[in-house]
A = this chain, B = another copy of it.
Amino acid sequence: MAKLIISNQRTEEMVGDLQILSPEYREYLGNQAQRMAWSMQEGDVIVLPVLPSEEFLEYVTGLLCIDREKITVIAPPAGRHGAGVLCRDRLLNEELLRRLERLVASHGIREIFPFHFDSTIAAMTRRLGLDSMTPGFRFLDQGGGRLLNSKAAFRALAAGAQVAVPEGKVCATRAEAQEFIWRELLSRGRPAILKQDFHVAGFGNEIVSPVPGVEPVGALRTVVTAGPEDLAEYLAERWDWLTDGDRSPVVVERYFADSLPLCAEFHLTDRGVGLTGHGAMRMEPVLNGHVWPAPASGLPGFDSFLHEAHRLCASIHTMGYRGIVSVDAIATPARTVLINEFNCRVSGSTHAYHLGERVVGTDFPDRRVLVEQRRRTFPDAVFERLADSGLAYDPVSRTGVLVTVEDGNASGGYGEYCVVAENTEQADRMEQDLAGLFARSGSAS
């Protein structure tokens, strides 16, 4: 069954005003959107913000063992937010819609697979006549996605599903926030993270800490508020920003410094809730990219984390959502796993699970480890150099380096690799070899 893939990595409903994303970041997103190419199957039509190179498309289709000629790739004209994001005006462009109508008919498309199923995608789905065959369409069409995108809704649903979460509170007033943050957290020496209700990837989060030196992971900055007056001053200054002009409550949670971010991904279909895989953010040497499966899967609390995440997804499933849910958690320094967010959309791990299954093999999480490198500057002729050095992914040994996203930036820095190895030791060696290869070529990142 052919599908229509739409790599809308950021939407108005995820971010608010897309203009708050810097031009550089939007350009980066436009490049990163290529990740969804790893979900292609024969007959698919894929809409990307920017056209990738033919070389990359042939590389991906080759590894996926599908015919490049049976894939249609489209990038609509740049819109009011530039070329990097598939914003509303680009996707609802009449010319694009007419072309997609023809392609839906000629390719026999029966499924739409966007990065984020927002109201723009709902309008497209209806226009293309795919609404009645899209599981969960009615829920999404009636604002279900917006409901689930709320961090306040996460707190309520997590409490309802009785999963372990950082202590916290949904605060509708400044007085409530001041009281909770000071009494329950700061006065006990605990930093707090404050989250805007609707935002993505840490852009709406800030940390307040009673002591200096707390690094803001998943947040814009840390503000030191040593006393209740400092906190009051901070809240007075930032309340408007935190609550989007008092439009939404702010979510407050205890912030655990030096914790390890984890994620688990589920696919919710009419048949039920299935675990797709799990991973972790890489913390060393810098926070950059993921590793799948999560090395923390050996922790005593990891299995119950997966069970709790499954329970949370069962709740979301009952509400009517169908599609991908990624559940985020942290392993605290005390080795406790606490769930702190879910996202009902494609994640930064989805392409890895798809290529893991289809390129590496369905047993990959048991037999292989995937290590991601992000924001790399590519040397010229990256595919040839990888092949010549013997580092390129080898379908026989099922190890090697995959180019998951091509570096489409003139000054470099947008490329992504995925190292496939039998274990983390081998992955470390391959990462060193990769660094050595490109250092010699004079184009290392």
Contact = CB atoms under 8 A, between A and B. Distances in A.
Interface stretch (A157-165, A203-211, A323-331): A157-165
Q: Range of interface residues on chain A?
A: 35 or more
Contact of A142 (B138, B159, B248): B159
How many copies of the shown chain assemble into the complex?
A: 2
B160 A152 contact: no
Interface string A296-331: 000000000000000000110011110000000000
A315 B150 CA distance: 18
B144 A156 contact: yes
A160 B319 contact: yes
A139 interface: yes
A23 interface: no
Contacts of A153: 147
B142 A158 contact: yes
A434 interface: no
Interface of A: 119, 136, 138-139, 141-144, 146-147, 150, 152-153, 155-162, 168-170, 172, 176, 246-249, 314-315, 318-321
The 3 tightest CB contacts between A and B, nearest first, are A160-B320, A138-B159, A144-B156
Chain A binding surface SS class: helix
A339 B315 CA distance: 22
Contacts of A170: 142-143, 146
Given A119-B176, A318-B319, 11 more contacts: A139-B157, A139-B159, A141-B159, A143-B249, A146-B152, A146-B156, A146-B249, A147-B152, A157-B319, A160-B321, A318-B318
A258 to B, nearest CB: 26
A127 to B, nearest CB: 13
Given A169-B142, A319-B315, A136 B155 contact: no
A155 B138 CA distance: 9
A147 B251 CA distance: 14
A152 B156 contact: no
B136 A156 contact: no
B246 A247 contact: yes
A80 to B, nearest CB: 15
